[in-house]
Amino acid sequence: MSITMFLALSILGLDFMVYVLFQWTYGDKRRALARQLAAHKNALLKEQPPRPVLVAHRTPFLGHKSRWHAGTSSQQT
């Protein structure tokens, strides 16, 4: 029983030390980079006006020859 408790506490201690090592190494840098990236994206979104939306028609207008429907016209010679 004592060896089981020793191994369990040792594994938990090693996990904690690995967690602390990663937080110490990457913690602040990652948060700072994430904040800078979010601020940059927000600035770009606020700066650019919205783009117009273009909608294409599938059927040509009356009296208008469309390049898309050139082969379906009944007035071809």
Q: Per mean pLDDT, which range of 9-13, 14-18, 37-41 is the poorest?
A: 37-41
Using CA atoms, how far apart are residues 48 and 40, in angstroms rounded to an integer?
A: 13
If you count DSSP H runs as helices and E runs as strands, how many of each does the chain have, helices first? 1, 0
pLDDT digits (tens, 9 = 90+) for 41-62: 877 777 666 677 777 767 656 6
Q: Per mean pLDDT, which range of 6-10, 12-16, 47-51, 64-68 is the poorest?
A: 64-68
**Does 74 score more than 60 pLDDT?**
no
Q: What is the pLDDT of residue 72?
A: 55
DSSP-derived letter for residue 71 is G
DSSP-derived letter for residue 75 is T
**How many other C-beta atoms lie within 10 A of the C-beta of residue 17?**
10
**Torsion angle in degrees (nearest 10) through CA of 56, 59, 62, 68:** 80
Q: Which residue has the tokens 């429907």?
A: 69
